[in-house]
Amino acid sequence: MSKSLKNFITISDALNRPEWKSRSLRICFLLGAWHDKIELTENILKSAAAWESKLNNFFLHALDIGRSSDDLATTLDNIRDEELRFESLDKAKADLHEALCDAFDTPTAMRIISNFVSECNVTDLSSSSLLSGARWVTRIITIFGLNPQGEAAVLAQDESNRSSGQQLVPSHHSQLIAWHGVEIPVAAQQPIHAASKLRDDVRQQVLSQRDDIDYGSITKLAHGVSLSTQLSTPADSDNRYHVAATQFRNDIQRLASESAPAKDILSLCDAFRDVHLSSLDIYLEDRENAPALVRPLDSSLRKALAEKRAAAAAAETEKARRKAEEAEKQLARDNKASVDPREMFRNEMYSEWDEQGIPTRDIKGEEVTKSARKKLVKLYEKQQKMYKEWLDKQDSR
């Protein structure tokens, strides 16, 4: 890029593009050395998007582990002890320190972070180890300027806690182990997480009891859900999330009272995920043998889901096309099979037939040759077999 070629773009113009976010651009810059030129090619943008998506998934997993811990406070207390025994984390810290001391080598630093996250993803870590790793990654990406909003939120919350003498509550722990925007809005967290758990419990019960659903148990599950919003600031006063969660709970209660079939309850669960929460920019990622993962429906995920749905729709269209094509072929076969073999040769090509309907003379009155008759007999016998099968099929209907 250069001014003379007029193929450059300013940062301000770039940020005005909906597909380019400030964090994404900063990741692009960090993937290149500070003393080198950088060109925002398609490959660079894809690499940045992949790096960001990788950390998003890592943070979401860490948040999910932290949220599901029976005693999060104890887990947090154990983090420092776990860090002393977490060799991969020690190595990542040392390697990153060396990279930054080497002329602030951010490309290597970013690769170290990515490799560390990959190792965490494939290693069976304790909750404390995973959270300690996520806390370290959060600290580094905050230093790199990739988490300015989250840093401000943490400082504000710490100041608020100090002034009120309160301990850090679990709902704010996410700000310490993830960058800003990886979780759904604060106002949505309590009602949506509660509704998501209800959905998980109901789906699991219905899928395991399709033929004998315990509707009383489902009603009890719905009655036991608390959807208080716990709003803390005027900015959190958006009650759309509470309305959506409440409506889902009420619909579950209604279907249970009506003893609705399994397909209706499962369809409601799908609609809550695909329609109601999608309109609120929230997505439930269903997982096998684990609760659904609640995550923001950002542009990249929305695009991926759109592509997945388009592929599914295309597959369904192709399936319908093949089904229609097969139905058309079957109709043609049935029409052909429904012809009585004694009538199949009675047309303008012949003038005389025997008692079975096999031609003996052609339209000119000439006798059908032995070779031609042999072929006609074979066709007759084949049609006779198909005709019998067709009659049997009609009788069985």
pLDDT of residue 177: 85
154 and 22 in a single domain? The answer is yes
pLDDT of residue 374: 93
pLDDT of residue 41: 81
Give the integer Cα–Cα distance in Å for 339 and 380. 11
pLDDT of residue 322: 94
193 and 85 in a single domain? The answer is no
Q: Which of 79, 113, 80 is nearest to 95 (CA)?
A: 113
Length of the chain in residues, anyone? Answer: 397
pLDDT of residue 160: 52
Of 266, 297, 328, which residue is a domain's last?
297
Judge whether 87 lies within some domain.
yes
pLDDT of residue 169: 35
332 and 261 in a single domain? The answer is no
pLDDT of residue 51: 95
In the predicted model, residues of the chain with pLDDT beneath 50 are: 71-73, 75, 81-84, 157-158, 161, 164-174, 230-236
pLDDT, tens only, 370-391:
999 999 999 999 999 999 989 9
Residue 362 pairs with which residues in a beta bridge?
350
226 and 293 in a single domain? The answer is yes
Question: What would the two tokens of residue 122 be?
Answer: 């494939």
83 and 30 in a single domain? The answer is yes
152 and 245 in a single domain? The answer is no
pLDDT of residue 213: 93
Of 153, 176, 199, which residue is a domain's last?
176
Judge whether 53 lies within some domain.
yes
How many domains does the chain contain in total? 3
CA distances from 37 to 2, 29, 31, 177, 209 (A): 11, 10, 12, 32, 62
236 and 360 in a single domain? The answer is no
Judge whether 1 lies within some domain.
no
Q: The pTM is what?
A: 0.66
Q: Which of 17, 16, 13, 47 is nearest to 29 (CA)?
A: 47
CATH number at residue 100: 1.10.730.10
20 and 139 in a single domain? The answer is yes
pLDDT of residue 159: 57
pLDDT of residue 2: 55
Question: What would the two tokens of residue 90 be?
Answer: 């020690």
Judge whether 255 lies within some domain.
yes
272 and 319 in a single domain? The answer is no
